[in-house]
Structure 1
């Protein structure tokens, strides 16, 4: 799909993964957590294209360069049914505020409709006001009632 300023939104490929990981690291830097990224291109290739594929992604491409990413996966709600979870929506800093995020999100919604997804969910940091305004601008509800829980890789190894 082509749109303004020669941006192409398309399904990501293996060859995109080095640039995609670069965007993920750029996002982590913005979110003040660069030390948290220990993923590799090799791991992403296995997880995104291997026999037990666990994610899909869209890229926004401009002049042969990946300038945006929407990485998502399928989940399930016992209350709703099939769901989609948006792990990352990121646009490189130089391309923000030109509609790239909106183009990616529009394509993501198209996929969700085609797959009869009952809910699309994501997280946003409470201090990330530009992202909050973006999501509100597309009509999303932000839910302050749920507390996120997680166990790290190291914690998973040590719990008996």
Structure 2
């Protein structure tokens, strides 16, 4: 019987991670915004001071089957800091290929990120989701996540490079 294991990504997984990033961006109707390369992922995630960490979901075919192992999902996270609560973990992306959804893979990735957070002394695990992705919103709520938009009225903002250059006087 085939199985899926959740493991820490290695440098050799960067091609698969980029493939899945592009699939996620396509799903979110934002494919034109993906500018990252495999080389940047490798440098930023596997250098001396990584900017991110990543888990991959790897499909393991049954013994004797001609299929090969395949990365079918990922969860990319990093550590942030709350002035009120201290250490936090932020799950930037979580994605499972459509044909592998409904098997609990996304839940297993989230559980593994929770384990990492607790092992590192984090008090909170944060993530964001597009409001139209009702399936993901439902999953996160079912797993115990609190919707800060509803509960506390938080709005999420982002400064793009052009705005940062303007602010920095460059």
TM-score, normalisation: structure 2: 0.88
TM-score, normalisation: structure 1: 0.93
1:64-83 equivalence runs, <5 A:
64-83=69-88
Q: Does 1:103 align with 2:111?
A: no
Structure 1 CA distance, aligned partners of 2:135 and 2:113?
20
- Cα offset for 1:5? 4.5
Q: CA RMSD in A?
A: 1.3
1:1-160 equivalence runs, <5 A:
5-63=2-60, 64-144=69-149, 145-159=153-167, 160=169
Structure of greater Rg: 2
Q: How many correspondences in the alignment?
A: 157
Question: Hey, which bits of structure 1, 4+ residues long, moved more than 4 A?
Answer: none
Unaligned runs of 5+ in 2: 61-68
SS in 1 for 2:148: coil
Structure 2 CA distance, aligned partners of 1:76 and 1:130?
28
Unaligned runs of 5+ in 1: none
Summarize deviations over 1:99-146 as a string: whole Å, max 9, x none.
110111111111111111111100011110010111011011111111
